[in-house]
Structure 1
Amino acid sequence: MHALMLAVWATSAWGGPLRYAEDRAPGIVNPLFTTTMSEARINELLFEGLFADDFELRSTGRLAESFTVAEDLRSMTIRLRRDVVWHDGDGFDAQDVVFSINAYKDPATASSEAGRVSWITKAIVQDPYTVHLEFANPEYAPQNKLQFKILPSHRFPSTSIKRTDGFRTQPIGTGPFKFESFNGDNSITLKRNDRHWSAAKLTEIAMREVSDKNYQARLLVYESLEALVQVLPRDLATLENDRKVELYPYQTNSWWYFGLNQRPHRSLSSARVREALALMINVDQLLEPIGTGDRVSGPFVRSSPFYNHDVPPLTRDPDRGAELLTEAGYTRPGQSWIGPDGKELRLKLVTLSNLDTAMDVVINVQSQLAELGVTIEPEFLGIAEYRERVWRDHDFDIILSQWSFDRSEEIYEQFHSDGSRNFIGYHNAGVDDLLEKAKLAADPQQKKALLRDVHARIAKDHPMVFLWTLDNYAALSTRVQNVSMIHPFYFFTWASDWVFGQ
């Protein structure tokens, strides 16, 4: 199969489509329902927000031409570009912006991205190219929150939009590339949008589904791909020494963790047991075989303004872990720890089967904890079963995963008691209060102080074993030129500048 893929994919003419790989093709192309990074990346090529990041990661106008913020910071007026056209030829205007905000907010839509607009209380069309927004609280820099993607109002009968709407397979945006086709091999073809104001240099981009992450690097070496979003650590040396490949380091707002299910009747509902488990794990030993990176002590990357550097990563101390288990009513008459209920401490650990290097981490932690009397039962799940078991049924004790954030680093949904992504069942009324205040804070310094306090409190509760943020590298064929840098979250933000060189 691999040989056939190489033969077929290598037939593309030099200077043809830029081909990049995803472990799994996007299941849906609709910004309202983005839940995976592969979906976020392809959305970046097809759709646009009012603002986007420049090379200094400052918000600059995209669909917005200019804006004015009121003196009381509770509203803003945005003037829109007049040279924007939807991929189907319809003109873009203020109604599209207002419609999109209302669609994200509509409870009947149940958008996974609704939190991006929850701070906007009203969106008003002032004229065809002017929008007025009103906010629930003062906003110091509202443009930083206005990067969510805008949808074509003329393609929907109302703001109540279903995930199954036909738009998901026939998306219409204003971005530099337009949707061409979903293909039988799960690939997606995009064509250049010749009407786009940026005048993209590439004529075509093709997303290829390559579930075997180990094989992606070979496809790049054999010139059957032009781009890898993330290089496996084991492939770095090979690609670095290939004169036809250029590596691009980039820092993501992404961190790994073991999430601990704290719901009633679970072993990990006990704070002592959670802390004991955290103290028994040698995180440095887990990291060593999979790459390099920085350990983290809480829910932010170390470069974040919200990271609390006064909270050090936990130091391994299995003896103290054993003391905590004893305090929690556990005994160890033999090899295994026995709980107050007379049952062996056995923990079900689930993770995605296609999560990079997850198997290495799981086998390693399973071995570590077995020596200390804790049995780990690993399960590697496909995406559908994973969503059902983790998100819906909460049928797990431990989850190995990673969270990726844009630069807003909004962790409300993950750690607030009512958060839509708080599938570990974490609850702390004090943290809830701080998260609510941080969400409303207009002063950046106040928000920084609040979230650093959140970091400290969460670390003390041990709802997760916080692991690391990995050093990331993208790899591109040297034929792809004018690549100044890679966006740390969306990857393709500046792809309009990329060009096939001679």
Structure 2
Amino acid sequence: MAKLPKHWLSLILLLLFLGIILAACNNSNDSSDTQTEDADGTEEQKGEDSGPKTGGTLTGAMYSAPAGMFNPIFYEESYEANILDFTHEGLVSQNDSLEFVPNLASKWETNEDQTEITFTLEQGVSWHDGEEFTADDVVFTYQSMSDPDYVSAGGIRTAYVEPLLGYEAYSSGDTEKFEGVIAEDDHTVTFKFSEPNINPLYYASFPIIPEHIFADIPVAEMPEAPESREAGKVIGTGPFQFTDMIEREQYILERNDDYWQGSPYLDRLVWKVVAQSVMTGLLESGELDFIADPNGIPPADYETVKAFGNIEIIEQPDFGYQILGFKHNHRTTEDVESGAIEPDNWIPNEKLSNPKVRQAIAYAVNRQGLVDGLLYGRGQPINSPIATQFWAYDENAATNYSYDPELAASMLEEEGYVDTDGDGFREDPDGNEWVLNMDYPTGNELRERSAPLIEQQLEEVGINVNLRQPKEMTAYVEGLTNDNTDWDLYLIGWSLASTDPDPTGLWGTKAAYNFSRWNNPESTELLQKAMKAPEAFEQDFRKEVYAEWQALFSEDLPALLLYAQNSLWAYNDRLHGVDPLPYTMYNNAHLWWVEDAE
């Protein structure tokens, strides 16, 4: 799934489990609870009596290749996040309670009216090339995401900069003065907001990029610059440096000896692109050391992996979900070519414009059957696009679309969708052929197996589904993004940001990841209300507003939430120091070590 991030995350998908968004580059020193499969519930630390050892290589796997964007402000997919989580960092991170904790910033202070937050940065932090990390890098990162050319160049992280003071004027080109983030000195930086901000640490949590690397590269050209794409030229502050790759096959990260929290124990991390069908066998043989994001080990392989004896399994609720998306609208060709997201220009998709039809489709899908049959019960259907771990998730506020094909058929009949020619498929109310195109990507076996099952279930209630050939994820995401086409239904997964339950990054009208092109003014109003000071300083107020929004979402249905599967992360017990967080296994990687290091 692609990450919607803590920092976005996802592709995306991502995207692929995909997702806003969209992958956070974290480094927390706080410990977290680990659910492993040892008899006593704790990680078995064989050989740890001698303490951590320096050296060794660790090999991980992902089932789709990164698209090739390794610049935090432009990446989209969770596969790039697998690299960036080790190479780049933000001012703050999170602990196992999802509280913000210091990272590149050692402390912070907000002003009285919550319009400014000032950070004191860690000193002695250097970039991978030896240059000093300073407040100017922080300013440069946020200024680049506010640049007039950022969105047209493919940038999708505007949620982190839109609340900043002067954003609209700067991003529109009306002024050349950037007021949102100010360097007070080399190690002090202030974020300024146009209004009192209820969660300033969230907006300040994005991974930082180096000014000295990108200063002479126009924002419009950053995505294609070697510094955003080529191993050895991607520069961060993290514990590992991206040094080499065989594109679409292998990606190598080397130890950053000058890492500010101490030189990592491991020599290197190697990522291999491996078909999901063979991952488990390679884990057993030792050719792979860990399988984690975006999907971990397949639920069908859980018992097999558990029996290996040399593998630890971490199981916990996933910070994300899978959806069957409904295309409400399509963008115009002109807007796609210019990179614009202009709801006023969108073209309604008449085939799915009736909310009762979308609701009927929801009742026709056996979500619990997907969980039981594909996830082996290791997950659950969910009704809201807010992670169940958040205080804002309200199971009772949203409609529970339990499997009811008879109700689905009845609703379609009432809306005038009947089979007039006797071919077994319904025509639309005007008597025209009604065919819904359905698209899905390759790579994720569960999603690939879900597609024909959903097609069959919809056809059982008389809906003619054109299940098209799946596409490789990179091409699929391009089709979703450049959606001036004939897509109707789509499958995708989102990895959610862990920093705040605000769903605007995925479901806001102008959000790049709003692939349904959902345009509901009431939704916009509620999402803004939930973040509006001073009322939104009270969590109970926000919870009430988000409950109302969840009810609206499940009624208007830009997507049917299929399920949230459990994260099943697995690693060889030669690896020690694993300290997972609720949303990632990649925490404090500089403290990972292997007992057979030489």
Tell whether the structures are fold-level matches, with TM greater than 0.5. Answer: yes
Q: How does 1:92-491 map to 2 (within 5 A)?
A: 92-110=133-151, 111-121=155-165, 122-156=180-214, 157=216, 160-161=219-220, 162-168=222-228, 169=230, 170-183=233-246, 186-199=249-262, 200-210=264-274, 212-229=275-292, 230-263=296-329, 264-291=348-375, 292-310=378-396, 311-333=398-420, 334=422, 335-379=424-468, 380-393=470-483, 394-407=485-498, 408-441=500-533, 442-443=536-537, 444-486=539-581, 488-489=583-584, 491=585
Query: 1:132 aligns to what SS in structure 2?
Result: strand
Q: 1:103, 1:159 within 8 Å by CA — same for their partners in 2?
A: no
Could you tell me which residue of structure 2 aligns to residue 3 of structure 1? none
- Structure 1 partner of 2:114: 73
Once the 2 structures are TM-superposed, how far is the Cα of residue 323 of structure 1 from its aligned partner? 2.6
Q: SS at the partner of 1:357? A: helix
Letter in 1 for 2:595: G
| Aligned-partner Cα distance in 2 for 1:56–1:304 | 11
- 2:57 matched residue in structure 1: 17
Output the CA distance in 2 between the equivalents of 1:255 and 1:265.
25
SS of equivalent to 2:418: coil
Q: Which amino acid aligns with 2:504?
A: Y
DSSP 3-state at the match of 1:194: coil
User: Cα distance, 1:159 vs. partner?
Assistant: 6.1
Letter in 1 for 2:197: E
Q: Which moved more, 1:351-360 or 1:176-185?
A: 176-185
State the distance in 1 between where 2:388 and 2:131 align.
Answer: 44
Report the residue type matching 1:137 in the other structure: E
C-alpha contact 1:52 1:59 (8 A) present in aligned 2: yes
How far apart, CA to CA, are the structure 2 residues paired with 1:222 and 1:284?
A: 34
Q: C-alpha separation between the residues in 1 aligned to 2:278 and 2:555?
A: 41
Matches of 1:167 and 1:15, distance apart in 2: 28
1:366-425 CA-to-partner distances (Å, cap 9, x unmatched) read 222222211222221123431333221243111111121111244214323333222212
CA distance change for structure 1 residues 452 and 83 in 2, over 3 Å: closer, same or farther?
A: same
Change (3 A) 1:375 1:287: farther
In structure 1, the gaps of 5 or more residues are 1-13
Is the Cα–Cα contact under 8 Å of residues 120 and 133 in structure 1 kept in the other structure? yes
Shift of 1:285: 1.4
Q: Relative contact order (C-alpha < 8 Å, sep 6+): which is higher?
A: 2
1:106: Cα distance to partner?
1.1
> Are 2:59 and 2:272, in contact at CA under 8 Å, matched by a contact in 1?
yes
Counterpart amino acid of 1:396? W
Equivalent position of 1:4 in the other structure: none
Distance in 2 of aligned mates of 1:409 and 1:351:
27
Output the TM-score relative to the length of structure 2.
0.78
Change in Cα spacing, 1:93 to 1:165, as seen in structure 2 (3 Å) is: same
Kindly provide the CA deviation profile for residues 301-348 of structure 1, in whole angstroms up to 9, marking residues without a partner as x: 323222122235212232322232123222224322121232333211
Aligned letter for 1:266? E
What do residues 135-172 of structure 1 show as CA deviations (whole Å, max 9, x unaligned)? Answer: 12222442233221111100111562521011121210
Task: Flag as ranges the 4+ runs of structure 1 deviating above 3 A.
Answer: 439-442
Q: 1:46 is matched with which residue: 64, 67, 87?
A: 87
Cα–Cα, structure 1 residues 51 and 159, in superposed 2: closer, same or farther, change >3 Å?
farther
Do the aligned residues in 2 keep the contact of 1:189 with 1:207 (CA within 8 Å)?
yes
Supply the distance in 1 between the matched residues of 2:549 and 2:254 (Cα, whole angstroms): 44
Q: Classify the secondary structure of the residue corresponding to 1:31.
A: coil
SS state at 2:440 partner: strand
Whole-angstrom CA distance in 2 between matches of 1:419 and 1:139 = 20
Counterpart Cα distance in 2 of 1:216 and 1:448: 41
Structure 2 CA distance, aligned partners of 1:245 and 1:119? Answer: 45
Q: Would the alpha carbon gap of residues 15 and 153 (structure 1) be closer, same or farther in structure 2, given more than 3 Å must change?
A: closer
For residues 219 and 403 of structure 1, the distance between their equivalents in structure 2, rounded to whole angstroms, comes to 26
Structure 1 residues 184, 467: CA separation in 2 closer, same or farther (over 3 Å shift)?
A: closer
Considering only aligned residues, what root-mean-square deviation do their CA atoms show, in Å?
Answer: 1.9
Distance in 2, Cα, partners of 1:38 & 1:185: 11
C-alpha contact 1:99 1:159 (8 A) present in aligned 2: no
Other-structure match for 2:37: none
Give the C-alpha shift of residue 15 in structure 1.
6.0
User: For structure 2, which runs of at least 5 residues remain unmatched after alignment?
Assistant: 1-53, 166-179, 330-347
Distance 2:541 2:109 in 1: 23
The answer to whether the Cα contact below 8 Å between 1:487 and 1:493 also exists between their aligned partners in 2 is: no
Structure 1 residues 63-112: Cα deviation after superposition (integer angstroms, max 9, x where no partner): 10111111111101111111100100111111111111101111312222
Counterpart of 2:100 (choices 34, 59, 68) is 59
CA, structure 1 residues 353+209, in 2 after alignment: closer, same or farther (shift >3 Å)? Answer: same
CA-CA distance at 1:352 after TM superposition: 0.8
CA contact (8 A) 2:55 2:265 kept: no
SS of 2:530's equivalent? helix
Asked whether the equivalents of residues 368 and 380 of structure 2 are also in contact (C-alpha less than 8 Å), the reply is: no
Structure 1 residue 486, shift from structure 2 partner: 4.4
% same residue: 26
Looking at structure 1, the residues matched to 251 and 570 of structure 2 have their Cα atoms a distance apart, in angstroms, of 20
SS in structure 2 of the partner of residue 79 of structure 1 = strand
Instruction: Kindly provide the CA deviation profile for residues 238-258 of structure 1, in whole angstroms up to 9, marking residues without a partner as x.
Output: 110111111112333201111
Deviation, 1:495, is 1.6
What is aligned with 1:496? 590
Residue identity opposite 2:161 in structure 1: V
